[in-house]
């Protein structure tokens, strides 16, 4: 159990800077998810914490101890790899006990700890099998078992679920959450899947090209994205983001269509400002089919043509054409629609976002 | 007759034809070996007969008895040759495999300046016919005073085998996922332990094949050995075969008998090592 602290951590390969001096404080027993598109430096950051990559600059502290130059084995961490990295020439039992064998733990103690881990993860039946005889989900569990056997200070997960099919992924996600509730240690979890990050983490770190864009609870990064990158990355389907110019109390889009400037941004913008307008599909909906239907304070209604619909059963994603492009909206209690229909759409402007087109930063606060 | 019965019959006929075909192919491949064994057991008259005598009229172990009978009784110092062959082959194989493991691992795992050039260079050395080097090597060895010594032969064979062992072992280490060594390091291993505990066992089939190939190359090599060896100090079995050629005659039967003596250890070793050549050990390490 330990805190992890990254100070001005950076990584450079030759002239290419992969991680640009990031700062991050992770509390004891916290579940932190690092998310971002591929190449954003999240895996490199994790590997630096693990000691598998040298750091170019800055500091890594684990449990108050600086570990910058310590080899992986001296950091008391466990890691679950994307590929699972089970030792193919050993049985599940040997895989689980390997770290203890290397550490010279006595046989009896080792058997007890392997049995504990195997009980937690339901591996008892599989102990004498080899990794090649296991299914994907079973391998995943063995990989997690191998990590918990060591009783580490920090668990590192490197996209552990990305090799599983959709159903198994959801199932293992729940198992990871249960596991964290049971073993209560600090977890750093790397994923490119924002749903995984949202469902699992206490706090989410959103990274982009080696910088941290925002750190916050799932609710914070969803409701109050700090930049338009975060706004577009978190949430599914993603937020509608379109460039506009402030003019005469309105937002004028490039195609000529316009919307009233939401009240909360009036004091924060001036005429001529270039901004990015953002609205989630939940806050842009066919009139009468929204989340907050009835209770809105600042609604703008327009009639728009439907260009395509994606029925999902309990809801339908409606792509409506506004300003020459498709804007996605979420229709609750769906009714059948077809392309070309004109329907009344509501923009809940009190929940809209505005970002500076120049810096990408939110103008909310 | 219904369709299924005839399909079944066809399948059976094909199986039989397949086996007969295989048997004939194996017979053809095995023929020289059989011929050598047969020739070692029968008189020269029969060996030289035209048309060939397929079924031997009489078999005797005279050639084998003579071989071990000592000088003057038709014998040759076969035990000395055998000892030389064994020392030279085993030592050079061990060294070549050790260097091959280090080199193969480095090529498979690390990035360094001039890597591809170096690899290509190693492969290019294989394109030079060994016999073309024998004369320069001879002069060099004479100057160094290591002509007709075990050391000299071992050096030559190590140089001959290292490019090959590096190339082969490199391929096998490449198949061992890098994640495994990293996982082992996180599990508490040093870099060195991770190699021996995880990567080495997984690359073992490759290392075993490299060892067999290196050993057989040394064991069977004739061209260089015939130049660089002089006496019982270092003469190997293939060079020993020449003892059966005299100015006007060649003792084919004796030569075949010695060839059989040479084949036996090579065959035994290959048989012992082949069970380590099971591939596919890495399956299940990573996804799939």
The C-alpha of B282 sits at a distance from chain A's nearest C-alpha, in angstroms, of 6
A58–chain B Cβ distance below 8 A for any pair: no
pLDDT tens-digit profile of A287-297?
888 876 556 67
pLDDT for residue A67 is more than 80: yes
For residue A94, give every residue at least 6 positions away whose Cβ sits within 8 Å of its Cβ, in sequence order, or none. A87, A101
Instruction: Output the pLDDT for position B117.
Output: 93
Mean pLDDT of B169-197: 92
Q: Say if residue B259 is preceded by a cis peptide, omega within 30 of 0.
A: no
pTM (predicted TM-score): 0.82
ipTM of this model? 0.85
Mean pLDDT of B44-51: 83
Q: Are residues A83 and B186, on separate chains, in Cβ contact within 8 Å?
A: no
pLDDT tens-digit profile of A259-294?
999 988 888 888 889 999 999 999 999 988 887 655
User: Please, which pLDDT band fits residue A106 given cuts at 50, 70 and 90?
Assistant: very high
Chain A residues within 8 A of B193 when measuring between CB atoms: 102
Q: Are residues B182 and A146, on separate chains, in Cβ contact within 8 Å?
A: no
Main-chain phi, psi angles of A262, to 5 degrees: -55, 140
Dig out the tokens for B163 from the structure: 């490019």
Instruction: Output the pLDDT for position B53.
Output: 80
Cα nearest neighbour of B203 on chain A: A89
Query: Could you give the 3-state DSSP secondary structure of residue B155?
Result: helix
pLDDT for residue A1 is more than 70: no
Q: What is the mean pLDDT of chain A?
A: 91
End-to-end CA distance of chain A: 36
Of all residues in chain A, what percent carry a pLDDT higher than 70?
98
Closest to A274 measured CA to CA, from A351, A349, A355, A361: A355
Cβ atoms within 10 Å of A354's Cβ, excluding its own: 24
User: Please, which pLDDT band fits residue B243 given cuts at 50, 70 and 90?
Assistant: confident
Q: Which residues of B touch A (CB under 8 A)?
A: 177, 179-180, 182-191, 193, 197-198, 201-202, 281-287
Chain A residues within 8 A of B286 when measuring between CB atoms: 83-86
Are A154 and A50 in contact, with CB atoms under 8 Å apart? no
Domain segments of chain B as ranges: 3-67, 78-277
pLDDT for residue B78 is more than 60: yes
Closest to A233 measured CA to CA, from A263, A262, A194: A194
User: Please, which pLDDT band fits residue A175 given cuts at 50, 70 and 90?
Assistant: confident
Nearest Cβ partner for A72 among B186, B282, B283: B186
Mean pLDDT of A251-260: 90
In sequence order, the β-bridge partners of residue B235 are none
Are A260 and A250 in contact, with CB atoms under 8 Å apart? yes
For residue A26, give every residue at least 6 positions away whose Cβ sits within 8 Å of its Cβ, in sequence order, or none. A3, A4, A5, A32, A186, A188
CATH 1.10.3720.10 applies to domain B78-277: yes
Q: Cα separations (Å) of A73 from A318, B123, B132, B188?
A: 52, 38, 52, 4
Give CA–CA dist A271/A364, Å, rounded. Answer: 17
Instruction: Output the pLDDT for position A295.
Output: 63
Instruction: Output the pLDDT for position A297.
Output: 74
Are A71 and B190 in contact, with CB atoms under 8 Å apart? yes
Instruction: Output the pLDDT for position B194.
Output: 93
Chain A residues within 8 A of B278 when measuring between CB atoms: none
Mean pLDDT of B271-288: 56
pLDDT for residue A162 is more than 90: no
Q: Are residues A73 and B188, on separate chains, in Cβ contact within 8 Å?
A: yes
Using CA atoms of B55, B267, B128, B207 in order, give the dihedral in degrees to the nearest 10. Answer: 160
H or E element: which one contains B104? helix B78-109
Helix A107-121, helix A166-183: angle, nearest 10: 130
Query: Could you give the 3-state DSSP secondary structure of residue A186?
Result: strand
Chain B residues within 8 A of A91 when measuring between CB atoms: none
Give CA–CA dist B196/B207, Å, rounded. Answer: 13
Three-state SS letters, A204-243: EEEEECCEEEEEECHHHHHHCCCEHHHHHHCCCCCCEEEE
Q: Are residues A88 and B182, on separate chains, in Cβ contact within 8 Å?
A: no
Cα nearest neighbour of B182 on chain A: A52
- Strand A57-62, strand A4-13: pairing: antiparallel
Are A222 and A230 in contact, with CB atoms under 8 Å apart? no
Give CA–CA dist A146/A166, Å, rounded. Answer: 24
Q: Which CATH architecture has domain A4-233?
A: 3-Layer(aba) Sandwich (3.40)
Give CA–CA dist B229/A172, Å, rounded. Answer: 68
Instruction: Output the pLDDT for position B283.
Output: 41
Instruction: Output the pLDDT for position B285.
Output: 46
User: Please, which pLDDT band fits residue B284 given cuts at 50, 70 and 90?
Assistant: very low
Give CA–CA dist A225/A231, Å, rounded. Answer: 5
Q: Which of A244-258, A284-298, B51-65 has the highest mean pLDDT?
A: A244-258
pLDDT tens-digit profile of B117-134?
999 998 888 888 878 888
Instruction: Output the pLDDT for position B281.
Output: 42
Cα nearest neighbour of A163 on chain B: B287
The C-alpha of A36 sits at a distance from chain B's nearest C-alpha, in angstroms, of 22
Give CA–CA dist A48/A188, Å, rounded. Answer: 12
Across the A:B interface, residue pairs with CB atoms under 8 Å apart total 88
Are A339 and A308 in contact, with CB atoms under 8 Å apart? yes
Q: Are residues A71 and B190, on separate chains, in Cβ contact within 8 Å?
A: yes
- Strand A31-35, strand A186-191: pairing: parallel
Give CA–CA dist B217/B215, Å, rounded. Answer: 5
User: What fold is seen in the domain A240-356?
Assistant: OB fold (Dihydrolipoamide Acetyltransferase, E2P) (2.40.50)
pLDDT tens-digit profile of B161-176?
999 999 999 998 998 9
Burial of B226 (0-12, 13-18, 19+ CB in 10 A): middle
For residue A166, give every residue at least 6 positions away whose Cβ sits within 8 Å of its Cβ, in sequence order, or none. none
Query: Could you give the 3-state DSSP secondary structure of residue A245?
Result: strand
Q: What is the mean pLDDT of chain B?
A: 88
Of all residues in chain B, what percent carry a pLDDT higher than 90?
53
Q: Are residues A132 and B182, on separate chains, in Cβ contact within 8 Å?
A: no
């Amino acid at each position: 159990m330990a805190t992890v602290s990254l100070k001005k951590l950076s990584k450079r390969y030759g002239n290419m800077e992969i991680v640009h001096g990031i700062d991050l404080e992770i509390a004891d027993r916290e579940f932190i998810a690092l998310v971002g598109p591929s190449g954003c430096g999240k895996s490199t950051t994790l590997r630096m914490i693990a000691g598998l990559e040298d750091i170019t600059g800055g500091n890594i502290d684990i449990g108050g101890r600086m570990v910058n130059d310590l080899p992986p084995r001296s950091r008391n961490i466990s890691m679950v790899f994307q590929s699972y990295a089970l030792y193919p020439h050993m049985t599940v039992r040997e895989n689980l006990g390997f770290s203890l064998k290397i550490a010279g733990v006595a046989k009896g103690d080792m058997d007890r700890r392997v049995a504990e881990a195997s009980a937690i993860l339901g591996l008892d039946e599989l102990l004498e099998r080899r990794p090649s005889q296991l299914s994907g989900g079973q391998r995943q569990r063995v990989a997690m078992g191998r990590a918990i056997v060591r009783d580490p200070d920090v668990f590192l997960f490197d996209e552990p679920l990305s090799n599983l099919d959709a159903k198994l992924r959801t199932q293992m996600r729940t198992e990871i959450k249960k596991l964290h509730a049971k073993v209560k240690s600090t977890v750093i979890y790397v994923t490119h899947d924002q749903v995984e990050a949202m469902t699992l983490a206490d706090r989410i770190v959103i990274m982009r090209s080696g910088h941290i864009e925002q750190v916050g609870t799932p609710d914070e990064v969803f409701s109050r994205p700090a930049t338009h990158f975060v706004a577009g990355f978190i949430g599914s389907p993603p937020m509608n983001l379109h460039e506009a110019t402030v003019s005469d109390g309105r937002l004028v889009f490039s195609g000529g269509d316009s919307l009233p400037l939401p009240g909360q941004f009036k004091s924060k913008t001036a005429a001529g400002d270039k901004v990015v307008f953002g609205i989630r599909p939940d806050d842009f909906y066919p009139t009468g089919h929204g989340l907050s239907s009835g209770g809105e304070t600042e609604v703008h209604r327009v009639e728009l043509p439907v260009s395509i619909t994606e029925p999902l059963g309990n809801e339908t994603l409606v792509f409506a054409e506004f300003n020459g492009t498709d804007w996605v909206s979420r229709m609750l209690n769906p009714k059948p629609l077809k392309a070309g229909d004109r329907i009344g759409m509501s923009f809940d402007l009190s929940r809209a976002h505005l970002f500076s087109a120049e810096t990408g930063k939110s103008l909310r606060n | 007759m219904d369709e299924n019965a005839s399909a079944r019959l066809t399948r059976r006929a094909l199986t039989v034809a397949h086996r007969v075909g295989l048997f004939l192919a194996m017979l053809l491949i095995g023929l020289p070996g059989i011929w050598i064994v047969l020739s070692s057991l029968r008189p020269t008259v029969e060996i030289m007969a035209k048309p060939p005598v397929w079924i031997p009229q009489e078999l005797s172990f005279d050639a084998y008895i003579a071989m071990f009978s000592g000088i003057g009784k038709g014998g040759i110092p076969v035990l000395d040759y055998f000892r030389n062959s064994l020392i030279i082959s085993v030592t050079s194989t061990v060294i070549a495999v050790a260097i091959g493991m280090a080199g193969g691992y480095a090529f498979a795992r690390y990035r360094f300046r001039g890597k591809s050039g170096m690899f290509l260079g190693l492969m290019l050395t294989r394109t030079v016919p060994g016999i073309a080097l024998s004369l320069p090597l001879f002069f060099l060895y004479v100057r160094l005073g290591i002509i007709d010594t075990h050391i000299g032969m071992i050096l030559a064979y190590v140089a001959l085998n290292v490019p090959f062992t590096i190339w082969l072992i490199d391929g096998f280490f490449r198949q061992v996922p890098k994640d495994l060594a990293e996982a082992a390091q996180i599990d508490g291993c040093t870099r060195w332990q991770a190699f021996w505990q995880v990567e080495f066992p997984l690359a073992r089939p490759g290392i075993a094949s490299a060892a067999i190939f290196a050993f057989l190359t040394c064991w069977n090599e004739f061209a260089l050995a015939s130049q660089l060896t002089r006496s019982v100090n270092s003469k190997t079995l293939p060079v020993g075969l020449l003892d059966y050629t005299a100015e006007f005659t060649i003792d084919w039967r004796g030569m075949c008998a010695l060839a059989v003596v040479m084949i036996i250890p090579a065959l035994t070793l290959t048989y012992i090592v082949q069970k380590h050549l099971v591939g596919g050990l890495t399956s299940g390490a990573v996804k799939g």
